Homo-oligomer: A and B are copies of this chain.
């Protein structure tokens, strides 16, 4: 599938790119259907916020234009957008006036088993803990060794995702998903001010919930809270929502409940429009 750097077809990036040297950049993983990027404005908003926090200056209208052109060529698939602080010589200093680089990579839509969405998934309980770094929390930056380590903990196909906690044992997210639970009819999801990735689908669901008459609560969650949950689900901006049926290592299980099903339909609509 095709890939671009700064709007031009390319398959390789300069060895001096700071994305390679330091993971000095951000990325967005965007579902594309019939040539249209899903949740485009939310992806761009998160990217802009990340760039602001890392002091990377980008031309957002240009990024939008490129994404739209790239998606129309892609048709159906996933467009991964990487923005790095650009190329520089050795040394951590961010440099002044260095142009950020925009990388776009196309790939096919992942072929997840249909049961994931229809029936639900099993969660692997990862031992890898997320470090607490408020300066980077919430961002989808390129420093993702923790996710690589967590995803490396299981190889079987039985577990579609892994549950990841922070160093204090608080429940944070999946390896490539955000996590929600329902308790007392209230939709709850972990606060992500110390670690974790504030996913675009998570943001969209939190934004939609009030209009659907669903109360939401964003707060610290412990494993004990998961025990009391009536429903648990995962989400991201590629697959939408997967109900979580169990986390066997923790002897926890949940039904694919009504609020999950309701929001699953919402997520589907969000991804299709």
Measured CA separation A80–B21 after assembly (Å): 10
User: A5-B15, A23-B23, A78-B90 known; 6 other A-B pairs, CB under 8 Å?
Assistant: A3-B15, A12-B12, A93-B151, A94-B148, A128-B135, A131-B133
The interface stretch among A40-48, A136-144, A222-230 is A136-144
Q: Which A84-110 residues sit within 8 Å CB-CB of chain B?
A: 84-85, 89-94, 103, 105, 107, 110
Q: Are A167 and B132 in contact (CB under 8 A)?
A: yes
* A17 contacts chain B at the CB level, 8 A cutoff: yes
Residue in B closest to A162 when the chains form the complex, CB atoms: B92
CA distance A247 to B14 in the complex (A): 37
Q: Which residues of A contact B (CB under 8 A)?
A: 3, 5, 10-24, 27, 29, 54-55, 78, 80, 82, 84-85, 89-94, 103, 105, 107, 110, 128-129, 131-133, 135-136, 141-152, 167, 175-176, 195
Chain B residues positioned under 8 Å from A133 (CB to CB): 129, 131, 146, 167
From A90, which residue of chain B is reached at the shortest CB distance? B107
* A135-B128, A142-B21, A144-B23 known; A105 vs B149 contact (CB < 8 Å): no
A24 & B132 in contact (Cβ 8 Å cutoff): no
Residues in B neighbouring A105, C-beta threshold 8 A: 15-16, 90
- CB neighbours (8 Å) of A82 from chain B are 20-21
Give 9 CB contacts A-B under 8 Å.
A3-B15, A20-B142, A22-B23, A22-B148, A78-B90, A94-B148, A129-B133, A133-B146, A142-B145
Q: Is the CB of B150 within 8 A of A92?
A: yes
Residues of B near A11 (CB, < 8 A) are 14-15
Query: Which one of B19, B94, B143, B152 lies within 8 Å of A151 (CB-CB)?
Result: B94
